[in-house]
Amino acid sequence: MTRAALTRIHHVGVVVRNLEQAYGFWRDCLGLPVHKVATVEDQGVRAALLTIGASEIELLEPLQPTSGIGKFLAKRGEGLHHLCYATGDVAGALAAARAKDVRLIDERPRPGLAGMICFLHPASTHGVLVEYAEPFPEDAH
């Protein structure tokens, strides 16, 4: 297995209206501990990662209605947003996707809450928005 192999579900992204309200269900009822919270200004979101076994649930609250997440919320309401795979080499995984003619959203990896990340276009993946993440060393499970 190469470092670029996809090894596990890193997280499943869920769009919510308000993080604090969402904690009432995901943290307090399901018992998932909050691992990390951050504001990602360039994506217009406040996000939280909640640990579930070797994976996480990522809650995404839009900062503005004009952000990508804000538009998703306005159009589709709260709910499942994207599926993120963990990899040990996000650049290699992205190159492998490009070699298979997958339509890309990100041409190169960029920093995100889950590590170095990139997104593939859902047009190539049956409507599923797919993210790759190479976790930062300090966040590795």
Partner 1 sequence: MRTLCIDRVTVVSPDAPRAAATFERLFTLPRAIGAAPVRGAALTIGDARIEFVTPEEGTPLAEALRTGGEGMAALTLGVADLDEAARTLERAAVAFEVRIDGGRRALEIDPRAAHGVRLTLVAHA
Using the rule CB under 8 A, is 37 a contact of partner 1?
no
- If the CB atoms of residues 42 and 126 are measured against partner 1, the closer one turns out to be 126
Cα dihedral 77/78/79/85 (nearest 10): 110
Q: Which stretch binds partner 1 (CB under 8 A): 3-11, 35-43, 63-71, 108-116?
A: 3-11
List 9, 34, 63, 91, residue binding partner 1 (CB under 8 A): 9
List 34, 40, 83, 91, residue binding partner 1 (CB under 8 A): 83
8 Å CB contact between 119 and 73: no
How far apart CA 4 and CA 91 sit, in angstroms, is 8
Using the rule CB under 8 A, is 139 a contact of partner 1?
no
8 Å CB contact between 140 and 124: no
